[in-house]
Structure 1
């Protein structure tokens, strides 16, 4: 089955925007990589702003689906919270992750009023909201969610700086286990 022009454009945009940066990647580079006519970008996305917004929405959708699948297999609140790291490790096996978080990159590279900024902010708000929901049943739910979010964001930065995901993510997960145990007055497994 061949990909539609829209799918080819989004795939090319993902590779280029994530790898080279949103601000430095022009529409022509995306068109060349996708093997489509320039008009296809405008017909499908209205221009670069719409393409950037669609790119970040797509990554957000893929991430959420993966995390939900991994979290669904977790039996306890502790395991459900830690699933964010398990999902990230799986993500890194299937996706490039050496540039850190695409959503944060979008926040850094785009002007405040850009439509994709709202997508990136919503992604980060979802992270906190979902961690809080998954932590239900643990002592200090809000604090656990905040602490785990800090560790999650920190591991993304460490990967950006060159730490291998297969080393950095389990280490962050272990620190999160310690945080959860400390909040509940137990010892980490």
Structure 2
């Protein structure tokens, strides 16, 4: 365990968020207390509360960090493809790779919403913002691909993506990404000209 009495604020925040990310994602946000975060991060409880005045603030920071990471990983896959249609299908390739990660436990936003959405308006808002951000990215990809109705195509693709995310988390298999990609291909064949 690293003691952080002499480390700067940025390092202490990183240690706390690293610990929170691992524990919240693995065990859920409700079952992990601040003392467990303290023990895993090596940051004193006093310093932890100076950095994050409440567990709610730490959960928000965890979700903000997860959102940035997810967007970065998705963009890496999509930007590697040059053809507009291939860029859409790269979303499902990203999902496949994500589902293959050893620690994959589904979507942190769906998980957190399931635990706290009815009692934490902020968690519900962050989950909605994350999902809407993904949908808007799909709308943009659909428009670039020449879809007659990018919003409708994006709505179909988001349902495939979200279903694959949930199914993979429950089944422990990456196969839902393959099936979702196959379905997306059929939808693209029907929706796009050329």
Interval of TM-score (by shorter of Structure 1 and Structure 2): 0.7 to 0.9
Task: Give ranges in structure 1 of 5+ residues lacking alignment.
Answer: none
| TM-score of the pair, normalised by structure 1 | 0.87
| Matching of residues 1-189 of structure 1 within 5 Å | 4-94=11-101, 96-97=103-104, 99-110=105-116, 111-136=118-143, 137-165=146-174, 167-184=175-192
Question: 1:20-49 CA deviation, whole Å, 9 max, x = no partner?
Answer: 111111111111111221123211121200
Task: Give 1:10 deviation, angstroms.
Answer: 0.9
CA distance in 1, matches of 2:168, 2:46: 36
* Pair 1:44–1:155, CA change in 2 (3 A): same
SS in 1 for 2:134: helix
Q: Which runs of 4+ in 1 moved over 4 A?
A: none
CA–CA separation in structure 2 for the residues paired with 1:38 and 1:77: 49
Deviation per CA, 1:47-95: give whole Å up to 9, x if none: 2001000001001001111212221122222222222222223334456
Contact 2:99 2:173 in 1 (8 A): no
Q: Give distance in 2, aligned partners of 1:95 and 1:56.
A: 20
Normalization by structure 2: what TM-score?
A: 0.85
Measure, in 2, the Cα distance between the counterparts of 1:88 and 1:39: 39
CA RMSD after TM alignment: 2.1
Gaps of 5+ in 2: 1-6
Structure 1 residue matching 2:171: 3-state secondary structure: coil
Number of aligned residue pairs: give it.
183
